[in-house]
Amino acid sequence: MRRSSAQGVLYGQAVANVAGISGSDLECMDFLNLEGRATAGRLAEVTGLTTGAITGVVDRLEKAGYVRRERDDADRRKVFITVVPETTAEIGKLYVPMQQAMHKVWSRYSDEELRLLLRFATDGYKGVLEATEALKDLLDTPPEKRADLKTPKPRR
């Protein structure tokens, strides 16, 4: 799974390269495609970038025609970033090889097996979120106060 993750990052870098945007820009596009739209602040949260950096990200994406800025009428401090479907489709095409490869993999599993994989994907995501929280707690604890850390033992 770690290797897949690393290889997936390389795939993303290649896509960003071809699309003429940075890796962070693409990361934001991915999130926007999942959520439809998001405020600049939310993008900063999910990417771990500062709000200043996000201004740059959105500037580049807007200039390239991938997104639009839209001020929220209810709270005029907020800026919603929304994807422009037509231009974004061009980036989408670059993911087709990945989608086809994954569908090929999935096709080798029964419905029951796929249900298990879906359960694991869901559980795993919760686990990663949990780990992120635990890491924060660990870093808030001064090193000398930390309980001894032990990696869990493999079962065999």
d(CA 87, CA 93): 11
Residue number with CB closer to its own copies (71 or 129): 129
Which tokens sit at 67?
């997104």
* Binding residue (CB under 8 A) for its own copies from 51, 65, 69, 127: 127
Q: Which of 20, 77, 86, 149 binds its own copies (CB under 8 A)?
A: 149
Instruction: Give min distance, CB of 89 to DNA, in A.
Output: 22
Q: Out of 20, 34, 85, 140, which residue is the one contacting its own copies (CB under 8 A)?
A: 34
Beta carbon nearer to DNA, 40 or 83? 40
> Which residues inside 56-75 make contact with its own copies, applying CB under 8 A?
none
What is the spatial distance between Cα 47 and Cα 25, in angstroms, rounded to a whole number?
10
Sole residue written with tokens 């479907």 = 85
In this structure, what DSSP letter does residue 36 have?
Answer: S
Which residues does residue 70 pair with via DSSP β-bridges, in sequence order?
A: 80
69 or 146: CB nearest its own copies: 146
Neighbours of 48 (CB within 10 A): 9
